[in-house]
Structure 1
Amino acid sequence: MNAQRKRTFRLLADTLSLVAPPEPISVSEWADRHRVLSPEASAEPGPWKTERAPYQRVPMEAISDRNVESVVLMWASQLGKTDLQLNTIGYFTGHDPAPIMVIQPDLMVARDFSNDRLTPMYRDSPQLSPLVVKDKSRDSRNTILYKTFPGGRINIAGANSPASLASKPIRVVIGDEIDRFPVSAGKEGDPVSLVTARTKTFYNKKMVWVSTPTIKGASRIEALYEDSTQEELHFPCPSCDELQPLTWRQIDFDYDEETRACTRVDHVCKHCGALYGEHEWKKDYAKRVVWVAGKEHSKTRGFKLSSLAATINYTWKDAVNEFKAAKRGGPALLKTFFNTVMAESWEEEGEKVEHELLLNRREMYMHRVPEGVKFLTAAVDTQDNRFEIDVIGWGKDYSSWRIQYHRVYGDLKLQDVWDDLDEFLSRTWQDAAGRKFRIRRTLMDSGGHFTREVYKWCKPRASRGIYAIKGEDSGDGTHTPLLNGTTDNNVHRATVIRLGVAEGKAKVFSSLTIEPGKPGSCRFPLPNPDNPDPFVYDEEYFKQLTAEQLVTRYKNGIPYTVWVQTRARNEALDLAVYNRAAIEMMNPNFDLPLPEPGSVVSSPVRPQQRKKKRNVSSSL
């Protein structure tokens, strides 16, 4: 009878533990007790300590606050956004079990998140490990994108996949890098709205939205932050104790242009004007800094944080060095700096460039290859009756010089036109010292009616750095990197470079707005009457180069930016994008000296074979 009673009491205790409310602790307290950092995901594996990044404590407390429905984190890089999300997942797995959905920008990123971050946390945290059945056990329902545990489950979804977003009701939603989400998940609508609708059945629902911002007016995370408490982390001045956020406009620094290194950096107090370094401003960090709200909100707390507030692995000197490098690289890199380092949205300027401005900027080259050029690339546009070719010279900081625009006319069904193309791409161009430059990388359009012919022609010429490309542009604001991997899924097994043309156009237009001669600028030649093969950079060329503009559109009330063609022909712009991709693929060292005068500058690098759909910037 005693044994029976013990079993009954044990069963009753187990039942009560399932229905009893969880102990009222915060996400940060749970993490300090139970989270273990895995060796795959941390340079310092071991028990989690919130004190190492104390700015995370208040946002984690907000996530577990029963009065808060949504938490918005408009945060820069280097601040532990992923670990904060993992702590939230662990809390709602091991402490307050619930149905969870984690949304990544696409399914590939979702799988990587599950394999590289989530699974190691479940494996190495003692409280969580017994709760989540190992993926390889025979009776497990668990997969990479779906896992169960007592009292809940977790779905890892891709914002680009309507099927992965289709799920049973969800109590806890975590959206990561939501500014990279597509405008619509297939035909279903805005991914954020779709998943928010699945939380309606829960009175204690929780939504956590995380991202670095992107373009002003089209940034999801900025819109959500503006409809929140708008909290910023404030630091007391070491002199007057007045609280203020750390901002870039209050950063004062010295920079050595020769060594390209920050030698001093201080932050100016906006109240008393005192200058102090990073150590002084961050002294007694956990005790003295506070989150200050910009307005009241009944259900949503929003937190904005720049990398200037980082406590580990990033310094103000790092920020200054990044800023100076971005400034040399032009508006596109400055946008990335302010988005990812300062957590600021970027207001687009120069969205449209007038062709007359560029036409009037042309200058006389003394030689076919001007001083400053280190490498030549070429781009080939395939038309039904011709090839259009643009050869560009590249120098430090991706400064560029147009070298020659050339057309090869003929019937692309006949071999001789392909031979003429081959002959042109084998030519050399000479600089003032008599060096002969060969084309180091050529990208060739494989669209249109001659796709197979392009693949067949490029395949044996890969050793010369000649590759076919396939442009990709969703047209809905979805971010696709300029170099978006490779594929060889064609009958000729030719390597095909996948290009995100929207990002390429943004980089081209950014360079067009830079004053000639400055780092990252574009320069164009005037026709040379003494040359029997004159340069063909005429008014029609510049009309084509500026034939598109960036506009903001809306889908289901969500703003996004898209490139819109304003003229019938845009071959010159396409070729500029291919050339930009070509030089980035090479990832060249512009600081290397040129060979001796009179020599040949060539030797294209053979590409290493990589798997399909890998980033190609360093491997090709």
Structure 2
Amino acid sequence: MNASKRRTRILLKDTLRLVAPPKPIKVSEWADENRVLSPEDSAEPGPWRTSRSPFQKEIMDAVTDPEIDAVVMMLGSQLGKTAIQLNVIGYYTGHDPSPIMMVQPDLGVGKDFSNDRLTPMYRDSPQLARLFGKGKSRDSRNTIYYKSFPGGRINIAGSNAPASLASKPIRILLADEIDRFAKSAGTEGDPLNLAIKRTTTFHNRKMIFVSTPTIKGHSKIEKLYEDSTQERLHFMCPSCDHLQTLSWRRIKYEYDEETSQCVEVTHACEKCGAMHEEHEWKRDYANRTKWIAGKKHATTRGFHLSALAATINYTWKMAVKEWIQANKEGKQAIKVFINTVLAETWEEEGQKLEHEILLNRREMYKARVPEGVRYITAAVDTQDTRFEIDVVGWGKGYSSWRIQRHVIVGDLNQQQPWQELDEFLSRTWKDADGRSFRPVRTLIDSGGHFTLKVYKFCKPRQGRNIYALKGEERGDGQETPLLNGVSTNNIVGATVVRVGVSEGKATVFSSLSLEPGKPGSCRFPLPHPDNPDPFVYDEEYFLQLTSEQLVTRYKEGKPYTAWVQTRARNEALDLAVYNRAAIEMINPNFDLPLPEPGSVATGAKRQKRPKKKNVSSSI
């Protein structure tokens, strides 16, 4: 055989290798054979073993089922959601090369995912490393947000960045923490729908949707799970072998308050009532658990699992400790536990309050700033003829104390009311020990007819933590996070804080429903002898504070909840939402000690915000 024929034969073999279908293996099999956990990605680096978390096998293998085009994962924390997605990416990089897109809540999270999780996997897993030679790191085709490999590519996108979603067609879509996606990708609409449209040209597309859930009726992952096989992992009772899901309601524990430790925790069988410890329920995990579907679905498999099923890095005793702490901190912390540990949606309780109840709760403060306050915030509502201002103190568990209600009347086209506003926001408020407090954040409503004036007022005062605010709310039941990122896309370059008012109202009403003194409750002052302000917390204020209620509406036959006004004025409620957003922006540490009496309390150094919530960026 001459040299020309040999070259032709080699070329033909290489071509056939590229077009031939890949060997039919499953994602879990690929991972066990090829995935290597990196030091940056695991406390125990080395070869991947699906047997360490057996519940992941069925989820991963559903992706490679030819009859399935979508997999929904409504999972709690500590269950390896990201690890599962990385295995899928590895499979469709090294075994069945395809165009892939990973969508994160924002590009910042996407950057962290690429640097801390994806790149190390490509580097340390030998099969994948061969696809990215030494020169690839400097290749212009391989960046933080884009990497190419023989037969495919991966794009890292952010739900708040429309340009990152506007890529070429993709076969494999992974959407992570979709309940924290931006409401809209610029002006192009729902980012999840935009990403899904990129898959329509592939008959063999695969879509993986992942998230911990949020509020019932507003959760994207809950909606997708309901339109799936609705599978839940069932465990055999160690005594009677009855299959059942692990339930927080059947968890029994003993907790030692002195040592802050869970002494014992067991789970009761729903059939025979026998109590068994965690290691007994999880013994022979792979053979004594089973995923059971709640309904049939031809193309979508859905999986729901709480952190109680975790096999590594998380125990029931840890869960009990989190639960105890959440109950001390209040409803917001309990909500986080329900969402992230139990992987269940949070359902708000009765959302209509009578104003007389709150009016009669007013109490006499010993000083303008009551005992227990660690920070204060201010919020400003901009009307055509006045500024409405509410100053609020905050303490442990997001307990709050109204401190001063103030109104500045005047034509906002003139300079005088703006000057008065600046003077008011420059003042301090004192506690009984003589400490002076300044607002750690002030948010000013930029809606209405004075948007540009608000921007121009706030821009030079951002050094004093005074920022413009834009309220956002959808009318179709889709939830917008309380802190939905910031924008500087305006003529003066002012930082504008985007606030989801619907979630804010739900949070405010939950706090108002608590008895005074409980963590997270709200307290109000009676008129004080040394208060020169005529605009006190009177009946009109409480009528405004309770001026909306949550109702059920329908769109295309599907129910959703929406806030509706029951009276014309609702400034007090809006200000309560703005103040809640202001305090959450600083991620406060309420355990830090106050400065010495007689000093100025300007707010402690801002704490680092965990990479979780629903916020593309914060101030």
What TM-score do you get using the length of structure 1 for normalisation? 0.84
Deviates more, 1:114-123 or 1:476-485: 476-485
Structure 2 CA distance for aligned equivalents of residues 3 and 508 of structure 1? 80
Cα 1:615/1:8, change in 2 over 3 Å: closer
Structure 2 CA distance for aligned equivalents of residues 554 and 615 of structure 1? 26
Deviates more, 1:303-312 or 1:149-158: 149-158
The residue that corresponds to 1:16 in the other structure is 16
Which consecutive residues of structure 2, in runs of 5 or more, have no partner in the other structure? none
CA displacement at 1:410 relative to structure 2: 4.7
CA displacement at 1:566 relative to structure 2: 4.6
Letter of the 1:418 partner, please give it: Q
Structure 2 CA distance for aligned equivalents of residues 90 and 289 of structure 1? 27
Structure 1 CA distance for aligned equivalents of residues 108 and 556 of structure 2? 25
- Contact 2:548 2:564 (8 Å CA) reproduced: yes
Q: Cα deviation per residue 1:539-581 (whole Å; 9 max; x = unaligned)?
A: 2212222334445667788876655555433322232233323
Cα 1:600/1:534, change in 2 over 3 Å: farther
Q: Cα deviation per residue 1:183-221 (whole Å; 9 max; x = unaligned)?
A: 666676655555555555544333322222223233332
Cα 1:273/1:605, change in 2 over 3 Å: closer
SS of match in other structure, 1:128 = helix
The residue that corresponds to 1:471 in the other structure is 470
Structure 2 CA distance for aligned equivalents of residues 98 and 558 of structure 1? 36
CA displacement at 1:87 relative to structure 2: 0.8
Letter of the 2:283 partner, please give it: K
The residue that corresponds to 2:320 in the other structure is 320
The residue that corresponds to 2:400 in the other structure is 400
Cα 1:123/1:259, change in 2 over 3 Å: same
Structure 1 CA distance for aligned equivalents of residues 425 and 163 of structure 2? 49
Structure 2 CA distance for aligned equivalents of residues 245 and 163 of structure 1? 42
CA displacement at 1:30 relative to structure 2: 0.5
Structure 2 CA distance for aligned equivalents of residues 144 and 521 of structure 1? 44
Deviates more, 1:388-397 or 1:368-377: 368-377
Cα 1:173/1:358, change in 2 over 3 Å: same
> What does 1:149-548 correspond to in 2, within 5 Å?
149-159=149-159, 164-166=164-166, 169-181=169-181, 192=192, 196=196, 199=199, 202-257=202-257, 260-365=260-365, 367-410=367-410, 413-414=414-415, 418=419, 422=423, 425-431=426-432, 434-445=433-444, 447=446, 465-473=464-472, 475=474, 481-483=481-483, 499-528=499-528, 536-548=536-548
SS of match in other structure, 1:121 = helix
CA displacement at 1:486 relative to structure 2: 6.0
SS of match in other structure, 1:127 = helix
Structure 1 CA distance for aligned equivalents of residues 103 and 68 of structure 2? 20
The residue that corresponds to 1:92 in the other structure is 92
Which consecutive residues of structure 1, in runs of 5 or more, have no partner in the other structure? none
Structure 1 CA distance for aligned equivalents of residues 61 and 116 of structure 2? 26
- Contact 1:31 1:87 (8 Å CA) reproduced: yes
Structure 2 CA distance for aligned equivalents of residues 51 and 195 of structure 1? 33
Letter of the 2:281 partner, please give it: W
Structure 2 CA distance for aligned equivalents of residues 64 and 609 of structure 1? 39
CA displacement at 1:31 relative to structure 2: 0.9
Q: Cα deviation per residue 1:486-506 (whole Å; 9 max; x = unaligned)?
A: 677889887765544444333
Structure 1 CA distance for aligned equivalents of residues 560 and 575 of structure 2? 25
- Contact 2:160 2:616 (8 Å CA) reproduced: no
Deviates more, 1:291-300 or 1:400-409: 291-300
- Contact 2:486 2:616 (8 Å CA) reproduced: no
Structure 2 CA distance for aligned equivalents of residues 190 and 595 of structure 1? 46
The percentage of aligned residue pairs carrying the same residue is 65
Structure 2 CA distance for aligned equivalents of residues 300 and 90 of structure 1? 22
SS of match in other structure, 1:283 = coil
CA displacement at 1:418 relative to structure 2: 2.5
CA displacement at 1:520 relative to structure 2: 0.8
Structure 2 CA distance for aligned equivalents of residues 150 and 528 of structure 1? 74
Letter of the 2:467 partner, please give it: A
Letter of the 1:445 partner, please give it: I
Letter of the 1:313 partner, please give it: N
Q: Cα deviation per residue 1:363-394 (whole Å; 9 max; x = unaligned)?
A: 34455444433443333334455443322232
Deviates more, 1:100-109 or 1:320-329: 100-109
The residue that corresponds to 1:57 in the other structure is 57
Structure 2 CA distance for aligned equivalents of residues 555 and 275 of structure 1? 46
CA displacement at 1:590 relative to structure 2: 3.3
CA displacement at 1:314 relative to structure 2: 1.7
Structure 2 CA distance for aligned equivalents of residues 135 and 168 of structure 1? 21
- Contact 2:108 2:616 (8 Å CA) reproduced: no
- Contact 1:528 1:534 (8 Å CA) reproduced: no
Cα 1:136/1:397, change in 2 over 3 Å: same
CA displacement at 1:103 relative to structure 2: 3.2
- Contact 2:441 2:583 (8 Å CA) reproduced: no
Cα 1:49/1:184, change in 2 over 3 Å: same
Cα 1:377/1:108, change in 2 over 3 Å: closer
CA displacement at 1:92 relative to structure 2: 1.5
CA displacement at 1:331 relative to structure 2: 3.4
Cα 1:416/1:570, change in 2 over 3 Å: closer
Q: How many residues are paired up?
A: 612
Structure 2 CA distance for aligned equivalents of residues 191 and 609 of structure 1? 27
SS of match in other structure, 2:128 = coil
CA displacement at 1:29 relative to structure 2: 1.0
CA displacement at 1:109 relative to structure 2: 4.2
Cα 1:346/1:461, change in 2 over 3 Å: closer
CA displacement at 1:517 relative to structure 2: 2.0
Cα 1:256/1:487, change in 2 over 3 Å: farther
- Contact 1:330 1:514 (8 Å CA) reproduced: no
SS of match in other structure, 1:581 = helix
Structure 2 CA distance for aligned equivalents of residues 240 and 608 of structure 1? 49
Structure 2 CA distance for aligned equivalents of residues 189 and 534 of structure 1? 46
Q: Cα deviation per residue 1:302-322 (whole Å; 9 max; x = unaligned)?
A: 211100111122222222222
Cα 1:341/1:557, change in 2 over 3 Å: farther
Structure 2 CA distance for aligned equivalents of residues 461 and 141 of structure 1? 43
CA displacement at 1:511 relative to structure 2: 0.8
Structure 1 CA distance for aligned equivalents of residues 70 and 449 of structure 2? 51
SS of match in other structure, 1:232 = strand
CA displacement at 1:248 relative to structure 2: 0.9
CA displacement at 1:430 relative to structure 2: 4.0
CA RMSD of aligned residues (A): 4.0
SS of match in other structure, 1:67 = coil
Structure 2 CA distance for aligned equivalents of residues 137 and 542 of structure 1? 62
CA displacement at 1:518 relative to structure 2: 1.3
CA displacement at 1:23 relative to structure 2: 1.8
Q: Cα deviation per residue 1:315-341 (whole Å; 9 max; x = unaligned)?
A: 222222222333334433333221221
Cα 1:458/1:608, change in 2 over 3 Å: farther
Deviates more, 1:292-301 or 1:408-417: 408-417
The residue that corresponds to 1:120 in the other structure is 120
Cα 1:563/1:117, change in 2 over 3 Å: farther
Structure 2 CA distance for aligned equivalents of residues 617 and 300 of structure 1? 29
Structure 1 CA distance for aligned equivalents of residues 62 and 614 of structure 2? 37
